[in-house]
Amino acid sequence: MFSLLIAYDPTAWETDQVMRMDADRFKEYTDGAEAQAVSLEKPKTLKLLEEAPALLMYEGGPEASREIVRYGTLRNIHVTGQHVTFRFTEKGRFTRADILEFSRHLSMGHWEENRTHWAIKDGDLPAALLKRLQSRYDVVLSFAGEDREYVQATADYLIAEGIHVFYDTYDEANLWGKNLAEHFEWVYRNSSAYCVMFISKWYVKKIWTILERRSAVARAIAEDKEYILPARFDNTEVPNVLPTVKYVSLKDKTPQELGELIVRKLRHPSVTGR
């Protein structure tokens, strides 16, 4: 079983706060034995949806956001007045074209993709579709190989805290066989909430870090909000990273202390982001 939520508003899923769907659109395009067990009149049954995957997509339109389909899990599902409210944990993304290509296997009805509603589908998501999933991270780490020991200790701390982090060594199986130039461009531009940039004299000299930096800077410019979190081993100047951007000095900070700061940033962005 999985949920398929489609919205007309192109900003409906662009938040990490509470989301909602009109209650009278709940279980439209739904027909299956598994789905019949779920009912708004029986709130406890909504827990079944929190144990199943969910797809969040948009109706068709010109906005770029409509081309993104989010994959993840639902939580805190409640009936609130005329709405069903919930939170969403994103684990990856598909393109709209991916979903439409597999529409028959997803039991999507005719024109269903152009109707705001919450459908519950029987069965599992197709394995062939899941192979196209683009992973989503809480934070990505950009660094030179000479600084790996410090960065790995930081990554270890983050993973122990339940943070989904992109660190190349721990993503080796996923990276195997990929075109790294294309994949890293996507990872450092699109896949996370923040990019921690470990700046050192080595960082500005490496081909791969130049690619990562350019992708991260492009994201920061496009969104015009904090994305790059500079962490400095020294005072090396980095092209296109403004000196006025607040940085963290690593001269007197352990990897664990930096990891704790990153966790605070992720969990309380409105506080640590001031």
Where do the CATH 3.40.50.10140 domains begin and end in the chain?
136-272
Q: Can you give the C-alpha Rg of the chain in angstroms? A: 21
CATH 1.10.3720.10 fits 136-272, yes or no: no
pTM: 0.66
Residues 6+ apart with CB under 8 A from 83: 20, 21, 22, 23
Percent of the chain clearing pLDDT 70 (strictly above) = 98
pLDDT for 73 equals 94
Average pLDDT over residues 2-22: 94
Q: pLDDT band at 99, cuts 50/70/90?
A: very high
What are φ and ψ of residue 167, in 5° steps? Answer: -135, 120
Q: pLDDT band at 232, cuts 50/70/90?
A: very high
d(CA 192, CA 171): 15
Checking if the pLDDT of 84 tops 90, the result is yes
pLDDT for 171 equals 82
Q: What is the DSSP string of 88-119?
A: EEEEEEEEHHHHHHTTTTTTPPTTGGGS-EEE
